[in-house]
Amino acid sequence: MLQVCGVSSIEALFADIPASLRTASFNLPPGRTEQEITGTAAAWISHTAVHSRSFIGAGYYDHFIPAAVDALANRSEFVTAYTPYQPECAQGTLQALFEYQTAICRLTGMDAANASLYDGGSALAEAGMMALRITKRNKVVVTGDVNPLHRRILETYFRTLGSDVVTVPAKNHAPDLAALAAAIDDKTAAVLVQNPDFYGGIHDFAPLADLAHKTGALLVMSCYPIALGMLKTPAEHGADIAVGDGQSLGNPLSFGGPYLGYIATRRQYIRQLPGRIIGETVDTQGRRGFVLTLQAREQHIRREKATSNICSNQSLCALRAVIYLSLLGKQGFVELAERLYRTTAYARQQFQAAGFPLPQTGPVFNEFVVTLPRPAARVVSRLHLVSQLSVGLPLAALSAGTEHNLLVSFTEQHDRADIDTLIAALAEQAAKA
Amino acid sequence: MATYYSKDHEWITVNGAEGVMGITAYAAQQLGDVVYVDLPAAGKSVKQHEVLCAIESVKAASDIYAPLSGSVTAVNDKLATAPELVNQSAEQEAWIATLTLSNPAEVSALMDRAAYDTYVAGLK
């Protein structure tokens, strides 16, 4: 190999990299056979605590994924394909993404969606930047009950743009609508909200949308997509851009990714939508076909004036999302949302009966805040060990609440017995306080 | 009233302190089928040779520069729904914007029709 490259040694090959930047050792053990590695991995897995039930949500949810999602999405035509550089040759990929965009439009009530973004956080940041371009203003207002991780991504993007993110703190785990209204001025490009919010609360943002529009600002709404089976769509709230994390649509949690972000908007803003957009057309013989459309927005043509630096998407995750949605169907999707709502209502009732303070006063969808008599982080680690339960997210971990507050979340993976087990375990810990 | 041309292939017809501008037929032909004109906002003020707005064709996206300094008084809304007008009638129907000129003397930096035709012939 060195001979082919025309260098005398490994040292010579890496001569261009300063020695101080090179690692002294990769600290790798000696090579082992496949059989040995398989045995080692199996031993590791057996030591890993596999929790019987997790009640951690906070934006990413453990949903049942029908086997057909894996069976179809794992076909090698989809799995092995990298981003198609000659996209129109990959008609199957384009058609799947076109159907995905259609599904996102139906969920959100919007006119146009792109072929997906990286995750919910980058989708929120892209929506904020879209609003800057549309309004030619330089500031967005975000409410503190938007997912704190997503807000951090938004702030990172905006810091590098030299644009401002004004955060209006949440009040009692809900948006402070009066303070939000006061924060909107003629320099505000958009107000960014989330429904259900990070704490699971359901809100009506229509009055805020009206107020934002009166000052020439947009409303950006982030939504947990499953909730849209039951709640008003972002379009019905009067939002101009709808975003969210699409993980819950057929994608496993997988220790943090890959996921997908969705973004959709109204017809008049299509040209400011970032990323790839698939369009339907007819070929010279009148046959239905699919193309990448409105590409002049993208950086391979528009260069530094492109709508976004994003030039890729999460095709495989978006494919899983559209397969998942088509398997559930219109009715099944609504039933799933209703089931989550009912399960969560049952849990709320039981928590109340067990004497736990629940600080939220308004309606919640799939999760809510419980106040424990002891610091939540300690209870969480204790119950990991003794009960193999992941009882929820201590809000202090994300600077999203005080140390006694725990965020618990419910999906169709939980039945009443699971909820009773959770509450009994937390009550037992509380009794020790 | 006289029409002037820029090296960036914009035309502007000047009438006192008012100007109406667009891109030249040569520019439209070079762009190919125009699919979108990103019209400037009324009231926007620009200096000569600064970016006024942008235009997209099936093969490129290009900036359009202000041939003279001024502020936008009106835009051709027809182009929002019929961008193909730029290919059909670049120097008549597909005017892009009217400007109130802040310094009409800047026309000295522009070309007349004969000079522009010579300039374009030199590009071919």
Same domain for A159 and A283, yes or no, is yes
**Mean pLDDT calculated for residue range A161-186:** 96
Peptide bond into A207 cis (omega under 30): no
Q: Are A57 and A248 in contact (CB under 8 A)?
A: no
Q: Do A271 and B57 touch (CB under 8 A)?
A: no
- Interface check B35 vs A, CB under 8 A: yes
Residue A281 located in a structural domain: yes
CATH fold for the domain made of B2-103+111-123: OB fold (Dihydrolipoamide Acetyltransferase, E2P) (2.40.50)
- Interface check A88 vs B, CB under 8 A: no
pLDDT band at A126 (very low <50, low <70, confident <90, very high): very high
- Interface check B60 vs A, CB under 8 A: yes
Return the H-helix or E-strand segment holding A188.
strand A188-194
Mean pLDDT, chain B, rounded, equals 94
Report chain A residues whose CB lies below 8 A from the CB of B57.
Answer: 296
List Cα–Cα distances, A17 to A9, A100, A112, A248, in angstroms.
Answer: 14, 44, 47, 43
Peptide bond into B83 cis (omega under 30): no
Residue A8 located in a structural domain: no
Compare CB distances from A301 to B38, B61, B63 and report the shortest one's residue: B61
CATH code, domain carrying A417: 3.90.1150.10
Chain A interface mutation, best of B35, B56, B64, B65, highest count of A Cβ atoms under 10 Å: B56
pLDDT of amino acid A393: 96
A6-18 per-position pLDDT tens digit: 999 988 898 899 9
Same domain for A270 and A126, yes or no, is yes
- How many structural domains is chain A composed of? 2
Write out the DSSP string of A87-136: GGG-HHHHHHHHHHHHHHHHHHT-SEE-S-BS-HHHHHHHHHHHHHHHHT
Return the H-helix or E-strand segment holding B114.
helix B113-123
pLDDT of amino acid A19: 85
Question: How far is it, in rounded angstroms, from Cα A271 to Cα A52?
Answer: 47
pLDDT of amino acid A51: 58
Residue A30 located in a structural domain: no
Least confident residue range of A43-52, A81-90, A219-228, A324-333:
A43-52
Domain end: A263, A295, A323, which one? A323
Q: Are A311 and A295 in contact (CB under 8 A)?
A: no
**Mean pLDDT calculated for residue range A333-355:** 98
Question: How far is it, in rounded angstroms, from Cα B24 to Cα B39?
Answer: 16
Q: Do A305 and B56 touch (CB under 8 A)?
A: no
Question: How far is it, in rounded angstroms, from Cα A358 to Cα A368?
Answer: 8
Q: Which amino acid is at B103?
A: N
Question: How far is it, in rounded angstroms, from Cα A109 to Cα B84?
Answer: 31
B83-103 per-position pLDDT tens digit: 999 999 999 999 999 999 999
Q: Quick count: other Cβ atoms within 10 Å of Cβ A186?
A: 9
**Residue among B19, B17, B62 at smallest CA distance from B38:** B62
Q: Are A136 and A274 in contact (CB under 8 A)?
A: no
pLDDT band at B24 (very low <50, low <70, confident <90, very high): very high
Compare CB distances from B36 to A136, A271, A305 and report the shortest one's residue: A271
Rg of the Cα atoms in chain A: 24
Place of tokens 């369009």: A279
Least confident residue range of A68-72, A311-315, A370-374, B11-15:
A311-315
Query: What distance, in Å, lies between the first and last C-alpha atoms of chain A?
Result: 66
A52, pLDDT greater than 70: no
- Encode burial over A144-177: b for 16+ CB neighbours within 10 A, e otherwise: bbbbbbbbebbbebbeeeebbbebbebeebbbbb
Same domain for A267 and A412, yes or no, is no
pLDDT band at A35 (very low <50, low <70, confident <90, very high): very high
How close, in Å, is residue B80 to chain A by CA atoms? 11
Question: How far is it, in rounded angstroms, from Cα B115 to Cα A294?
Answer: 36
Same domain for A254 and A288, yes or no, is yes
**Mean pLDDT calculated for residue range A153-157:** 97
**CA A125 to chain CA centroid, nearest Å:** 12
Among chain B residues, CA nearest to A269: B38
Identify the domain containing residue A273 by its residue range. 67-323
Domain end: A265, A298, A323, which one? A323
- Crossing angle of helices A120-135 and A148-161, in 10° steps, is 40
List Cα–Cα distances, A419 to A96, A217, A350, in angstroms.
Answer: 38, 43, 8
pLDDT of amino acid A88: 86
Mean pLDDT, chain A, rounded, equals 93
Q: Do B38 and A302 touch (CB under 8 A)?
A: no
- Interface check B45 vs A, CB under 8 A: no
Q: Do A305 and B54 touch (CB under 8 A)?
A: yes
Residue A218 located in a structural domain: yes
Same domain for A142 and A236, yes or no, is yes
Same domain for A318 and A338, yes or no, is no
Residues in chain A: 433
Write out the DSSP string of A386-417: HH-EE--EEGGGGTSS-TTEEEEE--TT--HH
A272-323 per-position pLDDT tens digit: 999 999 999 999 999 999 998 887 777 777 777 777 877 778 999 999 999 9
**CA A222 to chain CA centroid, nearest Å:** 9
Q: Do B60 and A305 touch (CB under 8 A)?
A: no
Q: Quick count: other Cβ atoms within 10 Å of Cβ A394?
A: 24
How close, in Å, is residue B56 to chain A by CA atoms? 6
How close, in Å, is residue B69 to chain A by CA atoms? 21
Q: What angle do CA A205, A156, A198 make, to 5 degrees?
A: 35
**φ, ψ for residue B101, nearest 5 deg:** -80, 135
Question: How far is it, in rounded angstroms, from Cα A403 to Cα A375?
Answer: 5
Question: How far is it, in rounded angstroms, from Cα A178 to Cα A188?
Answer: 16
pLDDT of amino acid A49: 62
Same domain for A266 and A368, yes or no, is no
Among chain B residues, CA nearest to A300: B60
Higher pLDDT, A79 or A334: A334
A154, pLDDT greater than 90: yes
Same domain for A265 and A373, yes or no, is no
Residue A342 located in a structural domain: yes
Q: Are A239 and A100 in contact (CB under 8 A)?
A: no
Residues 139-168 of A with CB under 8 A from B: none
Among chain A residues, CA nearest to B81: A268
Same domain for A419 and A302, yes or no, is no
CATH code, domain carrying A172: 3.40.640.10
Residues 235-274 of A with CB under 8 A from B: 271
Same domain for A250 and A291, yes or no, is yes
Same domain for A238 and A109, yes or no, is yes
Q: Do A296 and B38 touch (CB under 8 A)?
A: no
Give the start-to-end residue ranges of the domains of chain B.
2-103+111-123
Task: Kindly compute the dihedral angle of the four CA atoms of residues A37, A40, A41, A45, in this order, to the nearest 10 degrees.
Answer: 170
How do strand B51-57 and strand B45-46 relate by DSSP bridges? unpaired
Same domain for A218 and A132, yes or no, is yes
- Interface check B41 vs A, CB under 8 A: yes
Question: How far is it, in rounded angstroms, from Cα A192 to Cα A28?
Answer: 47
B53-75 per-position pLDDT tens digit: 999 888 788 899 999 999 999 99
How do strand B51-57 and strand B61-65 relate by DSSP bridges? antiparallel
- Tell me what percent of the residues of chain A surpass a pLDDT of 90: 77
pTM for this one? 0.86
pLDDT of amino acid A50: 64
B124, pLDDT greater than 90: no
Domain end: A294, A323, A352, which one? A323
Task: Kindly compute the dihedral angle of the four CA atoms of residues A409, A414, A416, A418, in this order, to the nearest 10 degrees.
Answer: -90
